[in-house]
Amino acid sequence: MLQSKAFDRFASIFLGCLVVITLLPIVLIVISSFTAEDALIQNGYSFWPQEWSLDAYYYMVKQGAVILRSYGVSIFVTVVGTLCSVLITTMLAYPMSRKSFKYRNVLSFFVFFTMLFNGGIVPAYIMWTQIFHIKNTIFALLIPNYLVNAFNVILVKNYYSNNVPDALLEAAQIDGASEMTIFRRIMLPLAVPAIATISLFTGLCYWNDWTNGLYYISNEKLYSIQMLLMNIMNNIQALRANSTASLLGTGAVDLPGTAIRMAMAVIGILPILLVYPFVQKHLVRGVVVGAVKG
């Protein structure tokens, strides 16, 4: 008994410390973003700033157009991308789950094989840029890589196989429902829990994506928030609404660059921090479901 209590206490303390260590880096950037530029240059990024300041945020509000624009791009891509992805994924998964479907096994293998082998980024890049001319269009952020993920398809397919009895579909067919009606009226509503899981992961994937931008986007107007962040890391001037003009001369002396970097990172994390408490439970469950049968 005594040993069990001691172990319990050890677990509490150890995990408590681990959680603090996990969260500290995020706390550091938040505090740094509220630190005065002078203090940052003198003492570096620190948990105990000598002087607090809102300068970085004032500056960002002044240059708000650039940030709002890339927020807009990110939100658009995340919403549209996730909706399309969920629709195409569930539509692909439904026939795979139908035992009466003749091409069921062929289709399953067709989907599954994409998890085993891929042609790599070079042929994909050449195809998207030279054949589909996707460079610097919004499609470059939506279409390559993320629209259909074999893993999600299999997850939804398993969900259908395990939760929708064949008798239900047969009954619907006898009532004269077409396959499309069955899909729309029965399968889609029944799959809501699975759809919630894949929407979360797909949405997160789109929001956090920067590789499609890295490969296919050079036009600043199409920068997602992640692209803007990358650009700011390399060049703090990028935040200026008219970045090329400001590079040519107008003084950058008043630019609180050290603090702005961290304020931008905070802006990039903020949506996730805001949504996280509400979806946290589903995410944890999704991780478990995904891992059980990959």
Partner 1 sequence: MKKLLHPKAAKSSRASNTPLLLIALPGIIYLLINNYAPMLGIFLAFKDYSLIKGPFGSDWCGFQNFEFLFKTKDAFIMTRNTILYNLAFIIIGTAVAIFVAILMCELGERKRVKFYQAAMLLPNLLSWVVIGFIAYAFLNADTGFINNSFLAWLGLDPVSWYSEPGAWPAILIIVNLWKNIGYQSIIFMASISGIDKSLYEAAAMDGAGKLRQIRAITLPLLKPTVIMLTLMSIGRIFYSDFGLFYQVPQNSGALFATTQTIDTYVYRGLMELNDVGMSAAAGLYQSIVGFILVLIANKIVRKVDADNALF
In the complex, least distance from residue 27 CB atom to partner 1, rounded to whole angstroms: 10
Q: How far is the CB of 157 from partner 1 (least distance, A)?
A: 11
Q: Which is nearer to partner 1, 40 or 73 (CB)?
A: 40
* Shortest distance (Å) from residue 44 CB to partner 1: 3
Structure tokens at 41: 């240059």
- H/E run at residue 137: none
214 vs 245, which CB is nearer to partner 1?
Answer: 214
DSSP secondary structure of 170-206: HHHHHTT--HHHIIIIIIHHHTHHHHHHHHHHHHHHH
Q: Can you tell me which residue has the tokens 């008219």?
A: 242
By three-state DSSP, how is residue 122 classified? helix
Q: Other CB atoms closer than 10 Å to residue 249's CB: what's the count?
A: 7
Shortest CB 109 distance to partner 1, Å: 8
SS3 (DSSP) at 285: helix
Query: Residue 76 or residue 183: which is nearer to partner 1 going by CB?
Result: 183
Q: Which is nearer to partner 1, 2 or 248 (CB)?
A: 2
Cα–chain-centroid distance for residue 112?
23
Phi, psi dihedral angles at 52 (to 5 degrees): -85, 155
Shortest Å distance, C-beta 249 to partner 1: 25
Classify residue 128 by its DSSP letter.
I
Of 79 and 284, the one with the shorter C-beta distance to partner 1 is 284
